[in-house]
Chain A
Amino acid sequence: MSIELKNIAKTYDNKNWILKDINTKIETGEFFAIVGPSGCGKSTLLRMIAGLIPISSGDLQIDNRSVINLPPRERNLTMVFQDYALFPFLDVEANVGFGLKARKMPELKIKKRVAHALELVDLTALKTRKPRELSGGQRQRVALARAIASDAKICLMDEPLSNLDAQLRGKMRSEIRELQQRLGLTLIYVTHDQIEAMTMADRIMVLNNQQVQQVGSPLDIYQHPSNSFVGTFFGTPQMNILKAHCPHTHNQQLIIDPFLTFQSPLDLPAGDYFVGVRPVDFDLTTHVTRTNAFVRSVEYLGNEFIIYIKLDDSAEIRVVTSEKIDLNSNERVLIRPKNKFFIFDHSGKTISFMKGVQNNGRTSKQETQAIIQ
Chain B
Amino acid sequence: MLNITEQSKKELWLRYIVLTILAAIILIPFLIGFWTSLLPTEDISKGSLWSTHISLDNYVTAFTQTPIIRYLLNSFIISLLTMLSQLFFCSTSAYAFVFLKFKGRNLLFYAFLATMMLPFEAEVIPNFTTVRNLNLLNHYSVMIIPFLTSAFGTFMLRQSFLQIPGELKEAADIEGLSHWKIYARIVLPYSRISLYTLAAYSFLTSWNQYLWPMLTTFSDNFRPVQDGLRQLQSQESFNNWGMIQASAAIVVIPTLVVLFFGQHFFKNGLNEGALK
Query: Which A residues are within 8 Å of any B CB, using their own CB?
Result: 51, 54, 69-71
Contacts and interface: CB of A to CB of B under 8 A. Distances in A.
Interface of B: 3-5, 7
A51 B4 CA distance: 10
Contacts of B4: 51, 54, 69-71
A69 B5 CA distance: 8
B185 to A, nearest CB: 35
10 contacts: A51-B4, A54-B4, A54-B5, A69-B3, A69-B4, A69-B5, A70-B3, A70-B4, A71-B4, A71-B7
Counting chain A CB atoms within 10 Å of each CB, the highest count among B3, B4, B5, B7 belongs to: B4
Contacts of B5: 54, 69
Contacts of B3: 69-70
A68 to B, nearest CB: 8
A71 B8 CA distance: 10
Counting chain B CB atoms within 10 Å of each CB, the highest count among A51, A54, A69 belongs to: A69
Q: Is the interface of A mostly helix, strand, loop or mixed?
A: loop
A54 B6 CA distance: 13
A176 to B, nearest CB: 30
B7 to A, nearest CB: 8
A232 B5 CA distance: 41
A54 B7 CA distance: 13
Contacts of A54: 4-5
A215 B5 CA distance: 32
A339 to B, nearest CB: 52
A66 to B, nearest CB: 11
Which 10 pairs between the two chains have the least Cβ-Cβ distance? A69-B3, A69-B4, A71-B4, A54-B4, A70-B4, A69-B5, A54-B5, A51-B4, A70-B3, A71-B7
B2 to A, nearest CB: 9
A30 to B, nearest CB: 27
Contacts of B7: 71
A25 to B, nearest CB: 23
A71 B5 CA distance: 10
Nearest to A71: B4
Nearest to A72: B4
Contacts of A69: 3-5
A71 B4 CA distance: 6
A51 B5 CA distance: 12
B222 to A, nearest CB: 52
Contacts of A71: 4, 7
Contacts of A51: 4
Counting chain B CB atoms within 10 Å of each CB, the highest count among A51, A54, A70, A71 belongs to: A71
A250 B4 CA distance: 60
Given A51-B4, A69-B3, A70-B4, 7 more contacts: A54-B4, A54-B5, A69-B4, A69-B5, A70-B3, A71-B4, A71-B7
A357 to B, nearest CB: 44
Nearest to A68: B4
A29 B3 CA distance: 29
A356 to B, nearest CB: 49
A69 B3 CA distance: 6
A70 B1 CA distance: 10
A70 B3 CA distance: 7
Nearest to A70: B4
B1 to A, nearest CB: 9
Nearest to A54: B4
A107 B189 CA distance: 55
B3 to A, nearest CB: 4
A205 B149 CA distance: 61
A128 B3 CA distance: 40
A73 to B, nearest CB: 11
A69 B4 CA distance: 6
A46 B5 CA distance: 20
A287 B168 CA distance: 50
A210 B5 CA distance: 25
A38 to B, nearest CB: 18
A255 B7 CA distance: 63
A74 to B, nearest CB: 9
A142 B4 CA distance: 31
Nearest to B8: A54
A324 B4 CA distance: 64
Nearest to A51: B4
Nearest to B3: A69
